[in-house]
Amino acid sequence: MANRQRKYDNQVYCIKDLEILGSANMLKSYREYYNEGAMDLITLRENETAYDRYRIRPRVLRNISDLDTATTIFGTKVKFPFGFSPTAMHTLAHPEGEVATSKAAAVANIPMGLSNYSTIKLEDVIAERRDNPYAMQVSLLKNKDAMIQLIRRAESVYFSKVCSKQLINTRDSGAGFKALLLTLDVPYLGRRLNEFRNDFGVPKGMEYPNLFPGVDVTNLEDGQESMAYDDCADWAGVMEFFRKHTKLDIWGKGIYTVQDAELAIEHGMDGIIISNHGGRQLDSVPASLDVLREIVPVAKGRIPIAIDGGIRRGTDIFKALALGADFCFAGRPAIWGLAVGRSIQSKIYITLTRFTTIKYNGQKGVELAINLLYDEFKTTMALAGCRSVTEIGKEYLSLLQPTGVLSKL
Ligand SMILES: Cc1cc2nc3c(=O)[nH]c(=O)nc-3n(C[C@H](O)[C@H](O)[C@H](O)COP(=O)(O)O)c2cc1C
Ligand SMILES: CC(C)CC(=O)C(=O)O
């Protein structure tokens, strides 16, 4: 039966389960680095609870037999309106790190944002791609040379594979990074109390091979000048710099207000991500979903609008789309997937010798995260009576008032 629900292993049936199991597999200081945010975690919590204020209003008898979850992002068709936000240092969650995340994104045909604080070389991450798009996140640093080198490498990734004994260069067919995600909300790092309390640090000898190749970044927080954030950045200067140094699309990540959405459009950005960095920068800013509601009336149709922060369910993706987002991203679910992957054992049989080995599979954990969100989103569309992503609109939502009254949007 086509509409039978998929079965899952490992007693993980939703992203909350994934968070609990994944968190249990991590060291305390890494777990809190990933799961927590700035100061009192007010924004971190509200990013999630904002979704609970909306109720879905399904339509019935809609003949959803041809239901299609596909959409496009970065000029590429993808499986559904979901991808991974860039998050730093996946190898702290699983030794295969960003390579495992990339393999899972490729299998699922969803986009992956790669952090410039990835602990694996971008060339190795992109080598796992299939038809899915990638975006390279770039922090705004004082060290312009580090940024330029990063952009050059992202642009010059020629993805080659041996096919029918011929070396095929797929660069011309659009392989590689499609966009840069400029992180606009980090002129300073937010105050993350967990990092102070745990004396958080990356293991000795760890590198950021895309941004500072060959540099031991163990003392990142002490901030060598060569790694410092650019506190003089402004709109005109940033756009002039990036337009000069890249032909990739330029998206602004970390838009919190209508005014800055307008400036992104005025300065010719190719897309925006409404994001508060998962509640890790300035605490007590509004939930990204609430900001989406302000920005959509002025920016919809003028620039692609993506959102991240607190998306944990297929219904959350549906609600964000109904409120006008074109695309949804999430950060932590990939991390929890990697960490859960530590307890997924893949047996590898080597038949000649009948030798069996067990591999702890980061990719399978991240695939689990994607499959959960995909299955939930598809089920939401079907039960709400939406046949395509473009049909999802605000007529499918009501706002639940504190009095219990449902109001139209
Ligand atoms: C552990 C962690 C590391 C992150 N590292 C980066 C980063 O290197 N660059 C960046 O622009 N955003 C970074 N972010 C923010 C994410 O891109 C994204 O905005 C956030 O995770 C979305 O919230 P969610 O985790 O609730 O989905 C990070 C987030 C987390 C949780
Ligand atoms: C290495 C960090 C500065 C990456 C980051 O943006 C974060 O932890 O939120």
Q: What is the mean pLDDT of residues 389-403?
A: 97
Nearest CA to ligand 2 atom 2: 88
In this prediction, the answer to ipTM > 0.95 reads yes
Q: What is the mean pLDDT of residues 157-176?
A: 48
Tell me which ligand sits closest to the C-alpha of residue 44. Answer: 1
pLDDT at 358: 59
Is the pLDDT at 173 greater than 50? The verdict is no
Nearest CA to ligand 1 atom 7: 87
Separation of alpha carbons 186 and 277, rounded Å: 9
Binned at pLDDT 50, 70 and 90, residue 218 comes out as confident
Taking the centre of ligand 1 as the mean of its atom positions, its distance from the CA of residue 281, in whole angstroms, is: 10
pLDDT at 215: 86
Nearest CA to ligand 1 atom 28: 87
Taking the centre of ligand 1 as the mean of its atom positions, its distance from the CA of residue 277, in whole angstroms, is: 5
Is the pLDDT at 87 greater than 60? The verdict is yes
Taking the centre of ligand 1 as the mean of its atom positions, its distance from the CA of residue 60, in whole angstroms, is: 38
pLDDT at 167: 46
Nearest CA to ligand 1 atom 14: 87
Separation of alpha carbons 267 and 270, rounded Å: 9
Is the CB of residue 335 below 6 angstroms from any atom belonging to ligand 2? no
Tell me which ligand sits closest to the C-alpha of residue 87. Answer: 1
Binned at pLDDT 50, 70 and 90, residue 74 comes out as very high
Tell me which ligand sits closest to the C-alpha of residue 223. Answer: 2
Is the CB of residue 280 below 6 angstroms from any atom belonging to ligand 2? yes
pLDDT at 141: 97
- What does the CA dihedral 328, 111, 177, 388 come to, rounded to 10 degrees? -80
Separation of alpha carbons 104 and 114, rounded Å: 13
Give the active site residues: 277
Nearest CA to ligand 2 atom 3: 189
Lowest mean pLDDT among 58-67, 165-174, 383-392: 165-174
pLDDT at 66: 97
Q: What is the mean pLDDT of residues 234-262?
A: 98
Is the pLDDT at 169 greater than 70? The verdict is no
Is the CB of residue 117 below 6 angstroms from any atom belonging to ligand 2? yes
Is the pLDDT at 115 greater than 90? The verdict is yes
Task: Please give the number of the atom of ligand 1 that sits closest to the Cα of 276.
Answer: 19
Tokens of 384: 């709400």
Q: What is the pLDDT of residues 319-348, one digit of tens each?
A: 999 999 999 999 999 999 999 999 887 666
pLDDT at 311: 99
pLDDT at 353: 59
Q: What is the pLDDT of residues 2-33, one digit of tens each?
A: 567 787 766 899 999 999 999 999 999 999 99
168 vs 361: which has the higher pLDDT:
361
Per the prediction, the chain carries an average pLDDT of: 92
Q: What is the mean pLDDT of residues 82-86?
A: 99
Separation of alpha carbons 102 and 111, rounded Å: 9
Per residue, what are the HEC states of the chain? CCCCCCCCCCCCCCHHHHHHHHHHCCCHHHHHHHHCCCCCCHHHHHHHHHHHHEEECCCCCCCCCCCECCEEECCEEECCCEEECCCCCHHHCCCCHHHHHHHHHHHHCCCEEECCCCCCCHHHHHCCCCCCCEEEEEECECCHHHHHHHHHHHHCCCCEEEECCEEEECHHHCCCEEEEEEECCCCCCCCCHHHHHCCCCCCCCCCCCCCCCCCCCCCHHHCCHHHCECCCCCHHHHHHHHHHHCCCEEEEEEECCHHHHHHHHHCCCCEEEECCHHHCCCCCCCCHHHHHHHHHHHHCCCCCEEEECCCCCHHHHHHHHHCCCCEEEECHHHHHHHHHHCCCEEEEEECCCCEEEEEECHHHHHHHHHHHHHHHHHHHHHHHCCCEHHHCCHHHEEEECCCCCEEEC
